[in-house]
Amino acid sequence: MKIVSHMGIAALLGTSLLANPYTTPQEEYESIVKTGNEVASTLIQTLGKNLKQHLKSEGPLGAATFCASQAFPLTDKVSAQYGREISIKRISLNERNPANAAKGSEKTILEALQKLQDSGVVLPKYLVERVDTATAKYYKPLHINKGVCLKCHGDISDNAKLADFIKSSYPNDKATGYKMGDLRGAIVVTITK
């Protein structure tokens, strides 16, 4: 396994999209990272807590039904909690919900991260994209890091009811067949000043 520092990552990614911690004023860079870390953790905790509760009380099908209708409202709620300067989304190259498909620079960055992951690099905990002087995007790579993720993103063919539900709700679902440790996507926190 190769470990790359955050500083070396822009060069490795082969993309000029990333903010260079040396040229973005340090205070600003640190504040973007601090906000991004906080907002992303709040979202992960919120979605994780709800997922856990619904899995416990209703099993995978009930929890998937809950996610299908509530993942977006919950994400928007966390977003609203941080005010108008912040917006949050979840993106993936193998999306379940078409609204979460990575596009533009987000796709470029996610593809670069996937390449690094495929070559055995331990991904950084976060990255910062400088969009323009007023806007930055904080990225937190998301992995399949719990066995429970596989209930709905692994091989789901043995749970016919769940598989049917997913197929009818998401006819173009690409988010199955994952294994433990795979890169699932990223949380993107857009910060505008």
**Contact mark string toward ligand HEC, 37..76, x via CB under 6 A:** --------------x--------x--xx--xx--xx----
Q: Is 152 exposed, middle or buried (0-12, 13-18, 19+ CB in 10 A)?
A: buried
Site membership for ligand HEC, residue 110 (CB under 6 A): no
Q: How far apart are CA 96 and CA 174, in angstroms?
A: 6
Site membership for ligand HEC, residue 137 (CB under 6 A): no
Nearer to ligand HEC, 94 or 112 (CB): 94
Nearest distance in Å: CB 149, ligand HEC = 3
Q: How far apart are CA 18 and CA 138, in angstroms?
A: 10
Q: Are 161 and 64 in contact (CB under 8 A)?
A: no
Site membership for ligand HEC, residue 13 (CB under 6 A): no
Radius of gyration of the chain from Cα atoms?
17
Count helices and strands in the chain by DSSP H and E runs: 5, 6
Q: Which stretch binds ligand HEC (CB under 6 A): 4-12, 34-42, 114-122, 148-156?
A: 148-156
Nearer to ligand HEC, 18 or 67 (CB): 67
Site membership for ligand HEC, residue 97 (CB under 6 A): yes
